[in-house]
Every structure is written in structure tokens, then in C-alpha cells.
């Protein structure tokens, strides 16, 4: 939901980059998990959270047990997360990046009325999101046997996304593979 960037103030608060499409929800959280690159998440109570408009918009958290600048510095780089079971339901056609990562990308057979698929193209490694305030289509970063392939997450290209089955069926526009070489 957020990534801790730096201490904020002198009482242990931290300024965070907002990573969620639902920033208002951050202000209502009573607890969260702090997770680093390695190690298990640590459940922590949230004393307060408010949204700041400085630096393009940040969340300012004050976590239980963080009472000084020194305490806040130890949190820099950690992500503020919630369990999957507490995520908000998304509207149809919207997906969490974590649900797309690892999905098998398969070539859809346009001539097949039963929705059959052809060859596997690769697997989603990441999703690139347009920058803040920039309209655009997210891009699937797919690891394929021929190298990285960038595929727009557009309805006419990604004709079926089934996160439960961990599969995305695509109809690649002519020339897309060549653009990625």
C-alpha cells in the first residue's frame, strides 16, 4: 500500500510513497504489516496516518513503537502492506499487480470459438504503471524464451485475464514482437 521513504518530524513518524489506488483507506487502517526485501512481515499498530500533498502526495504514518527519528530511520525502505484477505474488491477489468505477476501468457487462437489457446509466450514478471498524473495503459513485462516482451494490458490485446487460473490470453498486434527486439 505504501513504501517508507524517510523520517518525518521528530516523534517517529515516516513519510511514505503511496502505492495504492485507494489512498483514503490508509487513514482508516488500525494495523498493517511492515515487510522488507527479506524476512517475515511484522504486524504493527498504527497510531495515526494522514495524507500530505507535499512532494506529489505522501502518506505520513506514525507506528506504535516508533517514537524518535532514530526509530523512524530503521523503517526506511520497508513496505506497508495488508493481508490479501483485507484487500478491497476491484471492479471488473481491474487487477492487483500481485495477481498478474507469475501468470502464464498464452497466444489466443482468434479462429477458435471455444477460446482455445496456442503456444505459451512466457510469464508476467512485472507490471509497469504510467507515472503519477499520467494517463496510459499498464504494460505487462513478460519473460519469454526470446527475451523480455512488453505487452499493453489493453482489452483488445489481453482478451482473457483469469488470475485464479494464473493465465492471460493475448492477441498480439502485428509487429509487437519486433518492437521489443
Name the DSSP class of 177: H
Query: What residue spans of 7-161 are helical by DSSP H?
Result: 69-73, 97-100
Cβ distance 142 to 157 under 8 Å? no
**Range of 175's domain?**
97-179
If asked whether residues 53 and 118 sit together in one domain, one would say no
Chain segment 23-50, per-residue pLDDT in tens = 999 999 999 999 987 778 899 999 999 9
If asked whether residues 157 and 105 sit together in one domain, one would say yes
Mean pLDDT, all residues of the chain:
88
- What's the rounded Cα separation, in Å, for the pair 129 and 137? 7
If asked whether residues 56 and 21 sit together in one domain, one would say yes
According to the model, what pLDDT value does residue 157 have?
A: 93
According to the model, what pLDDT value does residue 134 have?
A: 56
Q: What is the mean pLDDT of residues 157-174?
A: 92
If asked whether residues 75 and 16 sit together in one domain, one would say yes
Smallest Cα–Cα separation from 83: which of 101, 96, 100? 96
Q: Tell me: pLDDT of 20 over 90.
A: no
According to the model, what pLDDT value does residue 94 have?
A: 85
User: For the chain, what percentages of helix, strand and coil (3-state, to nearest 5) are there?
Assistant: 15, 40, 45
Chain segment 53-104, per-residue pLDDT in tens = 877 789 999 999 999 999 999 999 999 998 888 888 888 888 888 899 999 9
Q: What is the mean pLDDT of residues 119-143?
A: 84
Residue 91 lies in a domain: no
Q: Tell me: pLDDT of 112 over 70.
A: no
Cβ distance 32 to 82 under 8 Å? yes
Parallel, antiparallel, or unpaired for β 104-108 and 167-170?
parallel
The predicted model scores a pTM of 0.65
- What's the rounded Cα separation, in Å, for the pair 132 and 135? 8
Amino acid at each position: 500500500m505504501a513504501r517508507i521513504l524517510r523520517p518525518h518530524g521528530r516523534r517517529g513518524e515516516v513519510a511514505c510513497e503511496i502505492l495504492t489506488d485507494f489512498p483514503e483507506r490508509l487513514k482508516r487502517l488500525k494495523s498493517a504489516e511492515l515487510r522488507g526485501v527479506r524476512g517475515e512481515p511484522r504486524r504493527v499498530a498504527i497510531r495515526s496516518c494522514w495524507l500530505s500533498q507535499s512532494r506529489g502526495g505522501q502518506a505520513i504514518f506514525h507506528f506504535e513503537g516508533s517514537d524518535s527519528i532514530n526509530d523512524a530511520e530503521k523503517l526506511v525502505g520497508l513496505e506497508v502492506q495488508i493481508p490479501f484477505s483485507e484487500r478491497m474488491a476491484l471492479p471488473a477489468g481491474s487487477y492487483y499487480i500481485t495477481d498478474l505477476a507469475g501468470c502464464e501468457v498464452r497466444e489466443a487462437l482468434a479462429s477458435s470459438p471455444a477460446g482455445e489457446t496456442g503456444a505459451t509466450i512466457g510469464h508476467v514478471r512485472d507490471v509497469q504503471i504510467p507515472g503519477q498524473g499520467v494517463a496510459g495503459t499498464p504494460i505487462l513485462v513478460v519473460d519469454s524464451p526470446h527475451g523480455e516482451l512488453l505487452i499493453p494490458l489493453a482489452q483488445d490485446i489481453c482478451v482473457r485475464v483469469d488470475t485464479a487460473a494464473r493465465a492471460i490470453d493475448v492477441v498480439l498486434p502485428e509487429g509487437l514482437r519486433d518492437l521489443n527486439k
